[in-house]
Chains A and B, each alone.
Chain A
């Protein structure tokens, strides 16, 4: 204990914990790569108007289905649009859908899951069985079905993906709440006169936060792929707005003339979701108290 005392005197505990977490994170090369690549994609999406050499709709009829050149880094598509620029612009739709869908999923799942796990009883049984039923549907089928009902647009696709991802999160939030409600400090808070709402806000939610953060970073890549799928099927982003899924769908018709048109957005989807997955794995490792390295 004396070690802790002397260190604590020098720097605040929160800063110390942050430093430990950072050191643990940096010791995982894959997680660092994930962070770097994911950040690059996010920056590319945000800065697309600045970084992209062309706007998403600019056509160059002198260079249809052109090969890569200094003028068009990754070539052009059938309308002479710059593929590199469209990948950057398309990252906006993907990351926006990925992040927002995850937020939607959290907003739906956390209150339901926490309430079910904390209050138990009949409501919990109903919610738990209902999520079991929903989990029996593959995530994409559920999302495609919802998107088809809501109608094609990026907003509706995001909602569909968010709601589609909710059942898995409900189950996780419920499990965490079930475990946390038995904690001694929850009992101590009850004995001190805390209300249910305060216990949930102060004692249950904060202690499940690290689990939720990890789940979010895992849910984001799934939603990114989901957005691509929905857009590919025409249920998400509508052409001419660029999106990796739309680009893939367009490239289909030219597979024999310009196969690379399909490869580039494919690589973008692959790298983007992989980077978020690696980041998520890294976060899970460092936030899991059982790994003490």
Chain B
């Protein structure tokens, strides 16, 4: 049974230069206790798709499709009802831990605010729970930290506070938008550890939006690769790394450094030629065609639909299959 079922999600932005298609007919499901990694380059629509689910986008965004969660369509319920989902059933962790906390209040009050609003806790009860949450996200001396202001915490600690705030109401789904990008590598590992732990202990389903395939390999059960607002490939994590089908996925994997594995001149890192297309107009073609070594006339004249190549492994490409080089 899937917890969240998004179908045909499209997001367009009205700009002065006309409409920009940020997300095009994106569908996906999220199961109980599942960790899904969403990867892609900057601007491929991964953050926009998930922010649109809780309607966190500016008013210029035009969102269509459905997102069924708990019997309601998140994209059409009134905002007053959506507010009871936001932070309570579905929580969001943003990329910028340095600026996502209000500098004017103690962190304990900020976590407590969420608890008091959604769960109706009293001030002292909220404080006690805030300390527990800080402990859960492994902040040392939580009973002292609870009375500190954001500027007194490091970036890693602030991200932990953001996660604590997101977990405050024991949400069913945690959407983490590049939670580790702004942090240094050792802190990153700690945060990922923490998320794994959260899934184990609280049974929270997690959507992890990232451009780091290493992070995905580390923690995700299933991976969605996005390109130019469309889903390019979707597969269980082992399957994706073992048999990448889409040339874009192959390209991403080829660009990941692998220490130990023939680190000589013969296996240099490959970059993907070209760059992410502008989303001003969606071409009647595979969006990746201009950068793709396998592109042919068909790729340039029709949009490839998703099809299943192995059980649970979907790809939107006319010429799927692993690169000879990437497999070796």
Contacts and interface: CB of A to CB of B under 8 A. Distances in A.
B86 A193 contact: yes
Interface string A1-40: 1001100110011000000000000000000000000000
Nearest to A180: B102
Contacts of A50: none
Given A191-B94, A192-B165, 8 more contacts: A1-B154, A13-B149, A191-B56, A193-B87, A194-B83, A202-B105, A207-B102, A207-B104
Contacts of A195: 83
B144 interface: yes
A132 interface: no
B118 interface: yes
18 contacts: A1-B153, A4-B152, A8-B148, A9-B144, A13-B147, A184-B96, A184-B99, A185-B100, A190-B56, A191-B86, A192-B114, A193-B86, A193-B88, A193-B118, A195-B83, A202-B102, A203-B102, A207-B104
Contacts of B86: 190-193
Residue of A189, A191, A203 with most chain B CB atoms under a 10 A cut-off: A191
Given A4-B152, A193-B118, A195-B83, A206 B91 contact: no
B101 A185 contact: yes
Summarize B's interface: helix, strand, loop or mixed.
Answer: loop
- Report the interface size class on chain B: 20 to 34
Interface of A: 1, 4-5, 8-9, 12-13, 183-185, 187-195, 198, 202-203, 206-207, 209
Residue of B91, B101, B152, B153 with most chain A CB atoms under a 10 A cut-off: B152
B48 to A, nearest CB: 13
Interface in B121-164: 144, 147-149, 152-154, 162
A141 B286 CA distance: 66
Instruction: List 3 A-B pairs, minimum CB-CB distance, nearest first.
Output: A192-B87, A193-B86, A193-B87
B83 A185 contact: no
A191 B149 CA distance: 21
Contacts of A8: 144, 148, 152
B83 A193 contact: yes
B97 to A, nearest CB: 9
B102 A185 contact: yes
Contact of B87 (A4, A187, A191, A202): A191
Summarize A's interface: helix, strand, loop or mixed.
Answer: helix
Nearest to A182: B58
Contacts of A203: 102
A183 B118 CA distance: 23
B25 interface: no
Interface in B86-121: 86-88, 91-92, 94, 96, 99-105, 113-114, 117-118
Nearest to A188: B100
Contacts of A189: 102
A13 B148 contact: yes
A187 B99 CA distance: 10
B148 A206 contact: no
B117 A198 contact: yes
Contacts of B104: 206-207, 209
B54 interface: yes
B238 interface: no
A283 B96 CA distance: 31
B303 interface: no
A47 to B, nearest CB: 36
B294 interface: no
A187 B94 contact: yes
A141 to B, nearest CB: 38
Contacts of B113: 192, 194, 198, 202
Contacts of B114: 192-193
A154 B91 CA distance: 55
A8 B104 CA distance: 17
Contacts of A9: 144
B152 A13 contact: yes
A15 to B, nearest CB: 12
Contacts of B84: 193
A1 B149 CA distance: 13
Contacts of B162: 188
Residue of A12, A185, A187, A198 with most chain B CB atoms under a 10 A cut-off: A185
Residue of A1, A193, A194, A207 with most chain B CB atoms under a 10 A cut-off: A193
A5 B144 CA distance: 10
Contacts of B103: 185, 207
Contacts of B99: 183-185
Contacts of A198: 113, 117
B113 to A, nearest CB: 7
Contacts of A5: 152
B194 interface: no
Contacts of B92: 188, 191-192
A4 B88 CA distance: 33
A195 B116 CA distance: 13
B85 interface: yes
Interface string B189-210: 0000000000000000000000
B78 to A, nearest CB: 13
